[in-house]
Amino acid sequence: MRAQAESERNWLQFYIVTLPEVSSVRTIDVVAHKQSELLLRDHSPWLLDQYILVDVAGDGNCRAVTLDMYGHELL
């Protein structure tokens, strides 16, 4: 994982790409993922105290990371 992160950083530097500033997600800007909340309420309710489950487009992987880091989904 560390090697992959280093490789990504090198590519960003090579192509002179800068990422936006990291910011926090505001809960008023997101839509809750109700199915996940219901599932966790039954099986691991403690997670709901620590995390906000949000509905993101697509399969959610990249968009969830972008939402967490920058406060919005990049399209």
Could you tell me the residue ranges of all domains in the chain? 22-75
What pLDDT tens digit does each residue of the chain (75 aa) get?
888 888 988 998 999 988 777 666 666 677 778 888 899 899 999 988 888 787 777 776 777 777 777 777 765
For 44, the 3-state DSSP assignment is coil
> If phi over 0 gives left and psi between -120 and 50 gives alpha, with beta otherwise, what is residue 16?
left
Phi and psi for 54 in degrees, rounded to 5? -120, 155
